[in-house]
Structure 1
Amino acid sequence: MKLLRVGEKGSEKPAILDGDGVVRDLSGVVTDIGGETLTPEGLARIRATDVGVLPKIEGTPRIGPCVANVGKFICVGLNYADHAAETGAKIPDEPILFMKATSAIIGPNDDVIIPRNSIKPDWEVELGVVIGREARYVEQTQALEHVAGYCVVNDLSERHFQTERGGQWVKGKSADTFGPIGPWLVTRDEIADPQDLSMWLEVDGHRYQDGTTRTMVFGVAHLVSYISQFMSLQPGDIITTGTPPGVGMGIKPEPVWLKPGNVMRLGIDGLGEQRQNVRAWQG
């Protein structure tokens, strides 16, 4: 299933994409796409619905974030061997974890705002893993059973804030609009192997990132199991799993940073595409 949320910010309603690509209203079946809806029982309720009789959502409404009320937005750093190489970093012995503020979350096609005092804003196409069942001290062999589905994430970063202002990476990752997710959540049963997905990102039509989840250092099952050793994972939590090479900071001979007027497009096989206009902060 491809689940999404449509409508103006703060007023999104749950929807599903039918087999013909028509958006259908799910608000008569579930209250939203998040929390209880993402549990095995909640997804079973949607699967039992005759999607063909649900009301069509006409026109081209805004697509909101594909998950509502995200509890934790957990990020994994340097998780692609080829990305670590382009940055000159050592491949980590264990996953590098950090958090991204949930207030950064926006829809997949909403504008991205470069924050005040930004010097080095950057892009990162990533595979997002959406939790559907509570995970606590989960073994790797059972880890994927706790996944509701997957989505595209643009893990936008301000590298100056992240690496040159001291402290943890979170302040370089958490500006408002720095977390587009969607367009939809694709349930786990539709993705045969999360470690075999092509992914890409373009800025103004130039393809900078063209990678695959095959080069992840730590795969999805490993990450879910590993993170569950340190904190419980709850339905609706998102793990964004790292980026392949081609980020702005890694461009040679000189880095390339986002600037107002840029247009980003990015996507992952089977999970859809995002498109964001980049604007300057006003205020």
Structure 2
Amino acid sequence: MKKARVAYNGTIHNAVGVEEGLQLPSGQIVEENDVIFLPPVQPKTVFALGLNYADHAKELSFNAPTEPLVFLKGPNTFVGHRSKTVRPLDATNMHYECELAVVIGRSGKHIKKEEAYDYVAGYTVANDYAVRDYLENYYRPNLKVKNRDTCTPIGPWLVDASDVGDPMNLSLRTVVNGNVTQEGNTRDMIFDIPTLIEYLSSFMTLNEHDIILTGTPEGLVDTKIGDEVTVEIEGIGRLTNWIVSE
């Protein structure tokens, strides 16, 4: 099942994706173009992975990390499908990052890898834009790089974990203005999903609606004002947004 949070007729609804469009809790079917997509869950603690694909680390001239490189993101960075992301006026390099987002379904601590998937509610797509101009030290990411308002579109769907056969073998792709600019596969992560859940839960409790952004493969391109950017992950969904001026 794929689920979404949408605004329709002045009210927020938890909708279900159906062949005809979206089904609201009342049973009413509406078309996707008639709603405003919100992030499919209201994020709590959000963990973002840096350099979790070896090819991406290489493209940035960094060595692959020997343990997860994790930073946190604030809730105001998140916007929904078909939203607008603001490019700062002084930015010279603001690129997309297509990422598989893992949504935690229940609380747990000291979770073992073998049990990790039992704590996953589902998966969605995220585009974690980075403004490289503000980067001071990649291993201590500046807040202004990764916590800017509107700079993390997420959605449109939360796909139940039970409907995703192997989350560690999904193709990823980014399309800018109709041109494919990034391709990869989740199997190329340095630290897979069970490893990340075990690592994070070893020192802090994971809670329902915590989210893990698992990193991006190589193929990053600077985005310009007016660009249409679509990031998509096999079996999870296609997430589109537009770059606008500050």
Shorter-chain TM-score category?
over 0.9
2:228 to 260, 263, 269: 263
Work out the CA distance in 2 between the residues paired with 1:124 and 1:11. Answer: 31
Determine if contact 1:136/1:232 at 8 Å carries over to the other structure.
yes
In the alignment, what sits opposite 1:149?
122
Are 1:195 and 2:194 counterparts?
no
Q: CA deviation at 1:165?
A: 10
Q: CA deviation at 1:262?
A: 1.1
In the alignment, what sits opposite 1:159?
132
Q: CA deviation at 1:206?
A: 2.0
Are 1:65 and 2:39 counterparts?
yes
Structure with the greater alpha carbon radius of gyration: 1
Q: CA deviation at 1:22?
A: 3.0
Secondary structure at 1:83's aligned position in 2?
helix
Runs of 5+ unmatched residues, structure 2? none
Figure out how many residues of one structure are paired with residues of the other and give that number.
245
In the alignment, what sits opposite 2:22?
23
Determine if contact 1:108/1:276 at 8 Å carries over to the other structure.
yes
Identity %: 34
Do the aligned partners of residues 91 and 65 (structure 1) sit closer, same or farther apart at CA in structure 2, a change above 3 Å counting? Answer: same
In the alignment, what sits opposite 1:180?
153
In the alignment, what sits opposite 2:52?
79
Higher relative contact order (CA 8 A, sep 6+): 2
2:241 to 266, 270, 276: 276
Determine if contact 1:98/1:170 at 8 Å carries over to the other structure.
no
Deviations 1:69-105 (A, max 9, x none): x111110110011111211211111000001221000
RMSD: 2.0
1:243 to 212, 216, 232: 216
Work out the CA distance in 2 between the residues paired with 1:91 and 1:263. Answer: 31
Determine if contact 2:38/2:79 at 8 Å carries over to the other structure.
yes
Secondary structure at 2:199's aligned position in 1?
helix
Secondary structure at 1:111's aligned position in 2?
strand
In the alignment, what sits opposite 2:72?
99
TM-score, normalised with respect to structure 2? 0.93
Work out the CA distance in 1 between the residues paired with 2:157 and 2:237. Answer: 7
Structure with greater proportional strand content? 2
Runs of 5+ unmatched residues, structure 1? 29-53, 249-256
2:202 to 229, 233, 243: 229
Work out the CA distance in 2 between the residues paired with 1:193 and 1:213. Answer: 10
